[in-house]
Each structure stands twice: as C-alpha cells, then as structure tokens.
Copies of this chain bind each other. A is one copy, B any other.
Amino acid sequence: MARVNAPTDDILFSLRHVARADTLPDWDDELAGEIVGYFAAFAEERIAPLDAVGDAEGCRLENGRVRMPEGFVEVYRELAEQGWQGLVAPEAYGGQGLSGAVLAAVSEIFTGANHSLQMVTGLVPGAISTLKRFGTEAQREAWLPLLAEGRWLSTMALTEPGAGSDLSAIRTKAVRDGEGWRLDGEKIFISGGDQDMSEGILHLVLARTGAAEEGVRGLSLFACPAERPDGTRNGVSVTRIEEKMGLHASPTCQLAFDGAHAELLGEEGGGLRAMFTMMNHARLDVALQGVAHAARASDLAKAYAAERRQGRGPDGAPATIDAHPDVARMIDECDALAIGGRALCHITLVALEKGDQPDFVEFMTPVCKYFCSEAGIRAADLAIQVMGGYGYLKEYGAEQNWRDARICSIYEGTSGIHARTTATRSLTLNGGAGMRAFANFVAENDGLAEAAEAWSKVAAATAASPDADAYDFMEATASLAYRAAWARVAAVADASADPARLRRLAGRVERRGASSFRA
C-alpha cells in the first residue's frame, strides 16, 4: 500500500486564494495553516495506515453490537482527545469554534486517508448544526458537549426498505407517550448505526408523526440516544450489517426501533426542513469526499508512474511511464478533477459561511455533490488504468480507492436525484434567483460570459419544459461550473507554489470544453 500524501498545499491555496476564505470573519490564516498541517501529519501517520486494514478486516456484528476493525478504537480515542470532533462546535459547548472552512480542509484530508473512519465520525458536524438550529437549550446542553468532546457519535437515520430516494414513503412511527415520544420502525443503510469507538450514539431519526397520506409533511425529526440517561439501552438494536463493495470499515446498519424513547427536534411536521440542515452539510461533505478520492487517485498514480519503467521516452532512452503522453494525460485529468472540484466546494462553502448568497449556495450544493462525486469515481478509475495490471491488485490501493469512492454518487441523494433537483426546483428557486446567481458566477470569469448566456437560455427552456432531460441539463451545468472553477484557479495561479502546473491544467480543461468532465 502506497503512502498517503495529504494535498495540504493545494487545499490551503484553494481556500485562501480561490475561495477567499480570508474574507470570512472567523478565518485566522496562520492558525488555519497550522491546524491543517497538524491534522495532515496525524492523518498520514495514524489514520491512513488503518485504511487497508479496515478494508481487509471489515466490521463484525457480535452479540448485537458492532466491532470495528483492529486499531480503529485507539485512533478514534486520539482523534477525540485532540479535539477534532469538536472543531466547529461552539466554544461554550466544549468545541473549538473554528470556521467551517477549516473543517472542509480537515474532512478532505481525513477521507483521503480513510474514508470509512471519516464516514463514521464525519456526521457529527451536521448533527451539531442541526442541534444548534433546531434544538432547545436543554437539548443543546445535553448533547453538544458529548459530541464536541467525541464521547458520543451521531447518525442520520432516514432510509427505510421502502423509502430510499422517496422519503414520503417513510413508515417509522413516532407516538407521544406522556412527556416524550416513542419510535417504532426499521431503518436501513445507517452509517455508523453502531460501533465500539464512542461511549454513546445519538441517532437523528426521521419518523412519521402525521398520517401516511400527508407524505413528507407528516415527518418530524427526532433525537434518539442509543442509551437512556440512566445507562440502560434504549429500544434501538442492530439487526444486520451490510456486505458492501467498499467502505468495509464503515458499519452500514439495519436498525430496529422498538418503542425507543426520543425527543422531538424542532417542530412537529417540520422534519424535512430540519433534515435538510443536516443533509446539506452531508452533501457538501460527500462532494469533498469525491475530491479526496480524486486527489488520492492523483497521489497514487503519480507515485506509481514516477517509479515504473516501461518503454522508451521521446529521447529513445528507457523511461518511467509518466513520460508517455497517455499516462501524463490521465494523471493530469485526476489532478484537474481534484483541483477543480475542490474549488467548487470551497467557493460554495465560503458563500455558505458568509450567509449573504443563500440562493447561490442552494443552487450550488447539488451541483457540487453531483460533480465531485462523479469526478472522484472517474479519477479513481483513471488511477487504476495508469497502474495497469497493478491497479487491479489489492496491494497497490488504487482499487480500494475506487470501491470506496463509488458510494459517493449514491448516498445523500443519487446523482439522478440531484440532476432532477437542479433541472426543476433549483431553476425556479426564489423566482429564478439561484439560476441567475449561478450564471453570474460563471460570467464573472474571463472568456465565459458567452457560455453563461448560452447556459441561461438552456436553463430557461429546461425550467419551462416538464419533459426536459434532467441528466443532460445537469451534465451541462456541472461541466460549466467546472470550467468556471478552473478559470478562477487560473486567474490566481501566481499565488500557488507551481503556477505553470495550474496553467497547464487550466488550458487542458478549457480545450476540452464541455466534454472535459467525462473524457
């Protein structure tokens, strides 16, 4: 297994110069650099070595409890002790109170080192946001410190056997029981539904408080701890863990809720709204997971191609394969997808943190999720190809990178769902404000004004036609977003450590135009 080299410099350049995180009120440039550098070292030395171990060993269900693979419990303890779980939690509740931009850097590096462990621990910031926004003061006091200190982890329990992309079909029922609520039902595909790393788990559960005919309007969000305050188990049990293509060290659980005590989070019937707070965080996080897999692909492919000798170079002498144009093309594409996808995420995230462009953020979130998850899979595939037969072998890591990346375009809304959202709701959002904000974002870049105008026409036609091809529209939108991101990167290339590299990649993306993303 090749060593993991975290793309620390690329990430900091992107945050600072491409996304202008320095314009955020809570950004401390020097501190951010130190924290990211510190985490990168921890990830490379402690977290990354468990990635192949976790893949080979997987999680086990023993006597109704999930056991994580060898070494995960110890590394999680260090992670929690160092305060990484509370990075963005308010200081008043035991957190570090740092910027979401720092979290973006840390999450990407974490995923590049070990997607499975990041998956199990990475739902906490979304839970923290949800509690901050929808929890009562008593709920915040009860749970935020536990999550911030890493004593508890959290889950997002939405999916059911009959309710995947269509949450209106949710059947888990919540009924009032005196002062509180009780949950009954079955949830599937719950990441980190159980594990033996944290003392406790807070399940955030979408359940039906209204009639089935009310669809999503009858759903409410609940906080349901795996253990009751008196230390007894709550009525939540793991009935199965799934055997998956990848993410073997992320326990994907089927959970049975059997009269489990729970507390309502936010308003009754307001479940979807509360869930979207959590979900939108998760969607940008998945986009960053895609970026992490693209960056890891580039890392793996470069390391291999710089060592592997085969054939002869342009000068006729035996050459390493990175001298061959087709190999260089594939490595460049991995790099371009990582850098361009990261720029999209960081730009969206900085706008989210600022809070002054909500329409732009709402338009961009599914675009980032769609583009970056597909980009991660595409780059991971190219890294396998660069390595040829060795890419197909387990010990070289490229095949695990692909298997772990593959989930990104499925969970937190499939690519098809995000395409449909973008081709319908996003276009009419706030009287077309999201659509205009996206067009402006594109048009602001050198040479892209015409493309932005052409896109606006297609967008208007798509908005007007119920039979529009959502997939085609999303592909066009994502490709244009990617080109705009690269135009921004190229414009600030001089601030990077290697401007020539960024200009070469920008030229490559622009030459390929709209097809840059797929081929």
Contacts and interface: CB of A to CB of B under 8 A. Distances in A.
A468 to B, nearest CB: 10
Contact of A392 (B329, B392, B406, B470): B406
A245 interface: yes
Interface string A161-204: 01011100100000000000000000011000000000000000
A310 B416 contact: no
A393 interface: yes
A300 interface: no
Give the interface SS of chain A, mostly helix, strand, loop or mixed: helix
Interface stretch (A89-97, A130-138, A348-356, A381-389): A381-389
A3 interface: no
Contacts of A391: 410
Contact of A416 (B385, B395, B419, B420): B385
A245 B324 CA distance: 26
Interface in A228-284: 242-246
A71 interface: no
Nearest to A386: B416
Interface in A305-323: 309-311
Contact of A410 (B164, B309, B388, B416): B388
A329 B385 contact: no
Choose among A309, A391, A519 the residue with the greatest number of B CB atoms under 10 Å from its CB: A519
Contacts of A406: 384, 392, 399
Contacts of A189: 389
A290 to B, nearest CB: 15
Nearest to A389: B189
Interface in A392-426: 392-395, 399, 402-403, 406-407, 409-411, 414-416, 419-420
A465 interface: no
Contacts of A329: 469, 471
A515 interface: yes
Contacts of A444: none
A325 B394 contact: no
Interface string A324-342: 1111011000000000000
A164 B416 contact: no
A111 interface: no
Contacts of A385: 409-410, 414-416
A394 to B, nearest CB: 4
Contact of A470 (B326, B409, B414, B469): B326
Nearest to A327: B416
Given A388-B164, A470-B325, A243 B395 contact: yes
A159 interface: yes
Contacts of A475: 519
A124 to B, nearest CB: 22
Chain A interface extent, by class: 35 or more
A389 B311 contact: no
A159 B389 contact: yes
A410 B394 contact: no
Residue of A391, A393, A416, A419 contacting most chain B CB atoms (<10 Å)? A416
A121 B415 CA distance: 39
Nearest to A419: B326
A34 B313 CA distance: 53
Contacts of A324: 416
Interface of A: 159, 162, 164-166, 169, 188-189, 242-246, 309-311, 324-327, 329-330, 377, 381, 384-385, 388-389, 391-395, 399, 402-403, 406-407, 409-411, 414-416, 419-420, 469-471, 475, 515, 518-519
Q: Which 3 A-B pairs have the closest CB atoms?
A: A245-B399, A326-B416, A243-B394
26 contacts: A162-B310, A165-B310, A165-B311, A166-B310, A166-B311, A189-B389, A243-B393, A243-B395, A244-B399, A245-B394, A246-B392, A326-B416, A326-B419, A326-B471, A329-B471, A330-B416, A385-B409, A385-B414, A385-B416, A389-B411, A391-B410, A392-B407, A403-B403, A475-B519, A518-B518, A518-B519
Given A326-B471, A329-B469, A385-B414, 12 more contacts: A162-B310, A164-B389, A166-B311, A243-B393, A245-B393, A245-B403, A324-B416, A377-B381, A385-B415, A388-B410, A389-B410, A518-B518
